[in-house]
Structure 1
Amino acid sequence: MNSNRRTFLKKTGIVVGSALITPTVHSFGIINKPILSENIIGHGEFRYKVHKAWGNLDPSTTPVNNCHEMVMDSKGRLIMSTDEPKNNIIIYDKSGKLLNSWTLNFNSAHGLSIFNEGGTDVLFITDPNSGSVVKTTTDGKVLMKLKHPKDIGIYTEKDRFSPTETAIAPNGDIYVADGYGSQYIIQYSAKGDYIRHFGGSGDKDDQFSTAHGVTIDTRDPNNITLMCTSRAHNSFKRFSLDGNYLSSIFLPGAYVCRAVMDDDIMYSGVCWSRLRYLNQTPNSGFITILNKDNKVISNPGGTAPVYENGKLKLMVQESTLFNHCHDVCIDNDKNIYVCQWNAHKTYPIKLERV
């Protein structure tokens, strides 16, 4: 959508917003709320029209189990990872048309990152069940497989390695999040040589509880850092590129997946929120959006962010649109594409910025 239309809608946002939102009923933290009328969700300047069938394909030829993650390549194609062995990778154009699919025969293909290497896009894919982290071309040729932590002597035989995500630094260094395993972030060189690891399981500031994601945060080009997920802590934790803990962003109620950077805005899928008795609740996902100061400014599918005395209050699901938002991808028009886990084998949803 062009900027003129967004400017017009921003000017009329109060009228539009008041016409769209219906009362919410809270009972012991349960929210009984239908999908917003006219399929508009979000808050402030970050509102979106829902295109629920955008990514639908023929399941008999291009099935999905869980749609895990999505990235956009330099050609504007939308590349998605799935844990369906028949097609670990599905490639769409922006209209939702299938362009290609291929597989590495992984039964749990999960993390998907993209890096422009000397003018060529390459992918990094994690498979938690097999403990694999591979670098490939965009058409599926394997270029490199990272060494297992046990093979380089940093894990014992008792330590579990179940990698969920990668992030690639500007110099090509590879950071692997062992989010379903031993909760470390492991740093390799661009050639795949081990450099260091940090984190581990625990409740200290520099430790993780479900280190599900890792992202290079380049929003301040003079201070490039790592934004690491600690999902069960409802937090992002910032580290230096050499593994020193810097700060935490607490997002109460939001079991966030990886952080996705676009300009100076940070987005994330929220896989669960806390509802009755503040427990982690199934089918309670939404999207959270933070500004350059790491303050939440919109929660499409969730309750509006509220700060009191500088502290963010509990955020929970508001509409019934999403099950478990696992990842988001942002295109050049600032539209969001949402991949979901455990969502009845549904395809990605498009949120069109208005």
Structure 2
Amino acid sequence: MNTARREFLKGSFALAGGALFAPDFNFFIHKGKPALADQVLGHNGFTYRVNKEWGNLDPAKTPINNCHEMVLDSKGRLIMVTDEPKNNIIIYDKSGKLLKTWGSDYPGGHGLSLAKEGSEDMLFISDPNIGRVDKTTVDGKVLMTLKTPHELGIYKKEAPYKPTETAVGPNGDIYVADGYGSQYIIQYDAKGNYIRHFGGQGDEDGQFQTAHGVCIDNRDKNNPTLLCTSRVHNSFKRFSLDGKYLSTIFLPGAFVCRPVINGENLYAGVCWSRLKYLNQTPNSGFVTILDKNNKVISNPGGTKPVYVNGELQLMVQKENLFMHCHDVCLDEDKNIYVCQWNAKKTYPIKLERVQV
């Protein structure tokens, strides 16, 4: 066992028999489902009641496969992308009522980002199955399809391209995460012209293992940066807007999906946690929330975050609620809508913010 691995294990289990693990070893074996609607999840004031009925639709009329990602538009509508070819886009109001569906062109509909152009909302849809990123109106009119790395000549013929996510910078630049392909972030200008690409697969600081998500971190208004997921590394990696590596936010145990900025906080769905033998474990998701200093303050559905000498300890699922949390979306009241992958075709779960 190498030194880094040994130190990780030592740090991860430093509290075994202490406050983190001793009360909670029974989360490895779920003895029954609690009355979750009456249970408060989360920590440190970021606490929530579960509403599993929100957004449930008739699967015969409005089927879903995987609920991949969701955004809130300027009209307060919740727009979700799925890889169900009968209705790639599902639009809800905040009560969970279905407003509209559209789209059948995205068999692997995966990434959904929203950007403003003047007063207009624009969507960016990523489909790793067909290697395509489209810019559309909220009603589904395709305005632009980005050229692929192969069309641009920046990938070798045999290099895979499977885009999973996009983000739009302050000047309109578009960043595409090739999260299921060659692990690069590809930067275009607002008109779709190629600028650069950076990252790639590997274990160096500026590289990725599953570059699943990307977002603009604008919490420092004078210094916006790019946050990129490296899911297998249990990390978000920060870059300048011109692709220079800056730092890593390490989230031990949490296979995070895309980062979502809301106010001074950072939220993310955790698709898997290292629930057993430190392995990526099926059906072990939760939600994680970080403060303005990128310190984890709450894990709804997961173990309470614990720091020892400033180092975050292993985080895993605690409540048997979520299967694989793929994305989160927040409304004006700080309620969280959780989209799940590989979750028996269930509709989104709403976590209603409460103060305790």
Aligned length: 331
**Cα separation, 2, equivalents of 1:299 and 1:337:** 14
1:258 aligned counterpart, secondary structure: coil
Q: SS in structure 1 opposite 2:222?
A: coil
Match of 1:184 in 2: 184
| CA-CA distance at 1:269 after TM superposition | 0.1
Code of the aligned partner of 2:248: S
Q: Distance in 1 between matches of 2:28 and 2:182?
A: 33
Separation (CA, whole Å) in 2 of partners of 1:104 and 1:202: 35
Partners in 1 of 2:192 and 2:29 — Cα distance?
47
Task: Specify whether residues 24 and 321 from structure 1 end up closer, same or farther in structure 2 by C-alpha distance, changes over 3 A only.
Answer: farther
Cα separation, 1, equivalents of 2:300 and 2:242: 34
- Structure 1 residue 31: Cα displacement: 5.1
Aligned to 1:95: 95
| Contact 2:111/2:164 (<8 A) preserved | yes
Partner SS state of residue 232, structure 1: helix
**Contact 1:36 / 1:319 at 8 angstroms: preserved in 2?**
no
1:30 to 17, 28, 31: 28
Query: Does the alignment pair 1:157 with 2:157?
Result: yes
Q: Give the distance between the partners of 1:24 and 1:349, measured in 2 at CA.
A: 27
Secondary structure of 2:258's counterpart equals strand
TM-score by length of 1: 0.92
Residue 263 of structure 1 corresponds to which residue in structure 2?
A: 263
Q: Name the SS for the 1:26 alignment partner.
A: helix
Measured against aligned partners, the alpha-carbon deviations of 1:27-79 in whole angstroms (never above 9, x if no partner) come to 7x825474475231111110001001101001001000000000000000000
| Partner Cα separation in structure 2 for residue 268 and residue 295 of structure 1 | 13
Secondary structure in 2 aligned to 1:195? strand
* Higher mean C-alpha displacement, 33-42 vs 234-243: 33-42
Task: State the alpha-carbon separation in 1 of the partners of residues 35 and 229 from structure 2.
Answer: 29
| Deviation digits for residues 152-174 of structure 1 (CA, Å, limit 9, x no counterpart) | 01001110000000000011100
Could you say which residue in structure 1 is the equivalent of 2:319?
A: 319
Identity of aligned residues (%): 70
Report the equivalent of 1:289: 289
Aligned runs of 1:40-51 on 2, under 5 Å?
A: 40-51=40-51
Deviations 1:256-289 (A, max 9, x none): 0000000110000000000111100000000000
Q: Structure 2 length normalisation: TM-score?
A: 0.91
Amino acid aligned to 2:333? D
Q: In structure 2, what is the equivalent of residue 344 of structure 1?
A: 344
Distance 1:85 1:288 in 2: 30
Write the distance in 1 (CA, Å) between the matches of 2:276 and 2:320. Answer: 16
Who is 1:111 aligned against?
111
8 Å contact from structure 1 (residues 31, 318) kept in 2: no
Q: Distance in 2 between matches of 1:306 and 1:234?
A: 16
Q: Which residue of 2 aligns with 1:330?
A: 330
Looking at structure 1, the residues matched to 142 and 24 of structure 2 have their Cα atoms a distance apart, in angstroms, of 51
Paired with 1:123 and 1:56, the residues of 2 have a C-alpha distance of 24
- In structure 1, the gaps of 5 or more residues are 1-22
Contact 1:305–1:315 (Cα < 8 Å) also in 2: yes
1:105 CA displacement = 2.0
Contact 1:269 1:285 in 2 (8 A): yes
2: CA distance, partners of 1:83 / 1:105: 10
Alignment CA distance shift 1:197-1:36 (3 Å): farther
1:70 aligns with 2:70: yes
Q: Is residue 235–residue 256 contact of structure 1 (8 Å, CA) maintained in 2? A: yes
Distance in 1, matches of 2:91 and 2:23, equals 38
**Distance of aligned partners of 1:232 and 1:35 in 2 relative to their CA distance in 1, 3 Å threshold:** farther
Cα separation, 2, equivalents of 1:25 and 1:205: 33
Superimposed CA distance per residue, residues 191-235 of structure 1 (whole angstroms, 9 cap, x where no aligned partner): 000000000000000000000000000000011000000000000
Is there any run of 5+ residues in structure 2 with no aligned partner, and where?
1-21
Q: Is residue 136 of structure 1 aligned with residue 165 of structure 2?
A: no
Q: What is the alpha-carbon distance in structure 1 between the residues aligned to residue 35 and residue 46 of structure 2?
A: 15
The residue number in structure 2 matching 1:218 is: 218
Deviation at 1:24, TM superposition (A): 4.7
Q: Is the CA contact (8 Å cut-off) linking 1:225 and 1:238 kept in structure 2?
A: yes
Residues 299-344 of structure 1: per-residue CA shift (max 9 Å, x gap): 0000000000000000000001100000000000000000000000
Q: Is the 8 A contact 1:31 1:317 kept in 2?
A: no
Q: Secondary structure at the match of 1:275?
A: strand
Q: For residue 257 of structure 2, give the secondary structure of its aligned residue in structure 1.
A: strand
2:79 aligns with 79
